[in-house]
Amino acid sequence: MSGVKKLDSCRVLIVGLGLIGGSLAAALKARNGCREVLAWDRDPQSLILARERDVIDRAACSLEDGVADADIVVLAVPVLAMSAMVRDVARLDLAGKVVTDVGSCKSDVVEVARECLGDSLSGFVPGHPIAGSEKSGITAAKADLYEAHKVIVTPLPENTLAASQLVRSLWEGVGALVLEMDVEHHDQVLARTSHLPHLLAFSLVDTLAGDRDSQDIFRYAAGGFRDFTRIAASDPTMWHDVFVANRNALLEALDEFSEGLQQMYAAVEQGDSRAMTGIITRAKSAREHFTRMLESQSYLKAMSHQSSHTFLARSGGTATGTLRVPGDKSISHRSIMLGALADGVTEVTGFLEGEDALATLQAFRDMGVVIEGPHDGRVTIYGVGLNGLQQPPGPLYLGNAGTAMRLMAGLMAAQKFDVTLTGDESLSNRPMNRVVKPLLDMGADIETSEGGKPPLVIRGGRSLSGVDYNMPMASAQVKSCLLLAGLYAEGETAVVEPGVTRDHTERMLTGLGYPVKTDGNRVSVQGGGTLTSASLIEVPADISSAAFFLVAASIAKDAELLLTHVGINPTRTGVLDILRLMGANITLENEREVGGEPVADIRVKSAQLKGIEIPEDLVPLAIDEFPVLFVAASCAEGETVLKGAEELRVKESDRIQSMADGLNALGVDAVALPDGMKIPGCAAGAQDVFAGGVVHSHGDHRIAMAFAVASLRARDEIRILDCANVATSFPNFIDLAHSVGLNLSETES
């Protein structure tokens, strides 16, 4: 075939007017997708019915006539009839025509096509719609069968581009989503995702039906049985044919399944709860994980979807009581990694069930670590020791989690097995050379894509040696990556930092009994130690989330809040220093170290705040907290000035502009500066600092939560638009805020 034909100028011949062929004809007709829909079927009755139902334009008198008139020929006969049909068609003149099929297995038909099509192979583009039903025949045909369903096209190397594009446009023309795969991979994948489940359903129902209590079994069958066995009602001939045609791939899949079933059998027989829990939790999370991965969804999509888009923050609220805000993200990641590598069981509480940390959790499950949860922030990790990880069945998918990829690069470089680290589109564009280069110096074998980007292909079985590494940039991720590799390296691994970075890895390693030496800005570990389980890692509450409530209780009348278990790592506590300079009444109670991290309960009471010039050295230590600090400044007596914070312009939104616009809309004369903000403040004791009205969060979670807090000193209701992203950092914000007295609710509008 030469030149690219357009579908709307083509005559399409459907050979075999059953469910699949009839539905394609009906869809093309309904959408006016092509010039003419022709059909040929061995049963004249099917052709008559199709004409009567207006599913086709014209019935061909014979296969020869139909093919002669057609530009595109679609073979839609049963799998075991497909090879003979290809041979029949091959005898006809196919010059300038494109031929495709819809069979559920591809290898056998492609083999025959290669044998008999000769030059016409360039126009034979196999396909397989992933849509159907348990029904068959033209009477079951539906014009919308393919809408939003996947169709796998398996182009051959011999195909012309024009031919494969035309087949693609045929399916896209009826509303399908077209994917490409090679033939062998198609048969392997379908053996596991479709053919094996059908085989199991047939076999299970048949076995139970032969049971002497079968009457009772079926009479009392619950939803689970019905769901699992629904596909056992599928067309017997079709599935017989599929099992015959895809024999080899199906048997391979069945062998793998039998092995898994044996493991489950042994676990049940021996009452091995840990093994059973491992299989069940891995299966449950894998199902969720792969669904998201295939749909390129984020973990929190469902959550943020539920969360409506507008917050209604009414005046008259208060902030009194005790609460614990969600856990720290950096520490949540590390709790999974180090808990998995420790000897013994580690309980984690306060785990942030956010997208990135969930990706890390799944990666360790894929490497054979049994992890229960998370349930309400509680996770149980059955540690396998530093050398107990197993090769994952496929690439480790880390979603959007840059921290996970960089830290795990160090860890994986030292394992006995090969592993590939992949991520979503955005992670796949992030530079990894900053960790790969020093790891190569340690003796690792890592391949990246062009430009040092993921996926990272890491070969196992290398012996690493310690290095003394001068980090060119201040990065906690690079430092942590090298320290984790250093746990396995010969000798000492040392990292010298050019500036202060978060030290959560060092603290948690120490908490788990692994010696870490810190000498000024040089941090080092000796390889060859062990990690002992901490039994409990209480992930501290995130001070960035606590900040909203620190301000809420400071500005509300007669308020008092106790924020429990908040992380007060000195690299994160600028917000406390700034609020204290403004006269906030904040006291730290019950200061302690948990798993090496300093935590405290923070008590905060109403106070008359005063305006200040925010010291520039505190800016980097409070960079995420400025939106709510601007709300505090609006309620302070006298002017507050922030400078040296241009970084705020490139956060989730331009936080200087978003906050200035919102404050202005609420009647506060805040002035945006290129690198900060000037806020006039108010008279001491003024209640209605904010007028009320509508503000836009610009999809920025911290802006949304800051204005929710402002309602405590507002005259009228504040409507905050575009708040769905609050779920990414603080999924239960509304509930917690409500529980301490803020008048906050949400609507779908």
Binding site for ligand NAP (CB under 6 A): 16-21, 41-43, 46, 76-79, 81-82, 102-104, 128-129, 132, 136-137, 238
Polymer length in residues for the chain: 749
Nearer to ligand NAP, 128 or 289 (CB): 128
| Min CB(254)–ligand NAP separation in Å | 19
Torsions phi, psi for 31 (to 5 deg): -100, 5
Structure tokens, 111: 């083999």
Cis ω before 374 (30° cut-off from 0): yes
* Measured torsion, CA atoms of residues 50, 55, 61, 66, in degrees rounded to the nearest 10: -150
Give CA–CA dist 573/591, Å, rounded. 14
For residue 200, the Cα-to-chain-centroid distance in whole angstroms is 29
Give CA–CA dist 403/422, Å, rounded. 13
Structure tokens, 444: 């690792």
Give CA–CA dist 629/633, Å, rounded. 6
- Angle at the Cα of 463 (from 462 to 466), degrees rounded to 5? 130
- Are 432 and 458 contacting, i.e. CB atoms less than 8 angstroms apart? no
Q: Residue 193 carries which DSSP code?
A: I
In the bound complex, which residue of the shown chain has the CB atom lying closest to ligand NAP?
A: 18
| Min CB(202)–ligand NAP separation in Å | 15
User: Active site residue: 328, 424, 624, 722, which one?
Assistant: 624
Nearer to ligand NAP, 188 or 728 (CB): 188
H-type alpha helices, 191-272: 196-209, 214-219, 223-229, 236-245, 247-269
| Min CB(81)–ligand NAP separation in Å | 3
| Min CB(242)–ligand NAP separation in Å | 6
| Min CB(1)–ligand NAP separation in Å | 24
Exposed, middle or buried by CB within 10 Å (0-12, 13-18, 19+), for 486?
A: buried
Exposed, middle or buried by CB within 10 Å (0-12, 13-18, 19+), for 660?
A: buried
Nearer to ligand NAP, 129 or 486 (CB): 129
Helices 236-245 and 247-269: crossing angle in degrees, nearest 10, is 100
Nearer to ligand NAP, 132 or 438 (CB): 132
Q: What is the DSSP string of 144-161?
A: TTTTT-EEEE---TT--H
| Min CB(63)–ligand NAP separation in Å | 9
Nearer to ligand NAP, 239 or 397 (CB): 239
Nearer to ligand NAP, 177 or 684 (CB): 177
Nearer to ligand NAP, 130 or 641 (CB): 130
Structure tokens, 651: 């956060």
| Min CB(168)–ligand NAP separation in Å | 17
Nearer to ligand NAP, 16 or 731 (CB): 16
What proportions of the chain, in percent to the nearest 5, are helix, strand and coil? Answer: 45, 20, 35
Whole-angstrom CA distances from 184 to 149, 150, 241, 244, 480 are: 22, 18, 18, 16, 41
Q: Residue 137 carries which DSSP code?
A: S
Nearer to ligand NAP, 81 or 112 (CB): 81
**Which residues lie across from 522 on neighbouring strands?**
496, 519
| Min CB(47)–ligand NAP separation in Å | 9
SS3 category, 457: strand
Give CA–CA dist 428/399, Å, rounded. 9
| Min CB(161)–ligand NAP separation in Å | 25
| Min CB(42)–ligand NAP separation in Å | 5
Tell me which H or E stretch contains 687.
none
Residues in contact with 66: Cβ distance below 8 Å, sequence separation at least 6, in sequence order: 13, 15, 38, 39, 40, 60, 73
Torsions phi, psi for 694 (to 5 deg): -110, 130
To the query of whether residue 624 is one of the catalytic residues in this protein, the response is yes
Neighbours of 726 (CB within 10 A): 27
Give CA–CA dist 569/547, Å, rounded. 14
Nearer to ligand NAP, 129 or 454 (CB): 129
Active site residues: 624
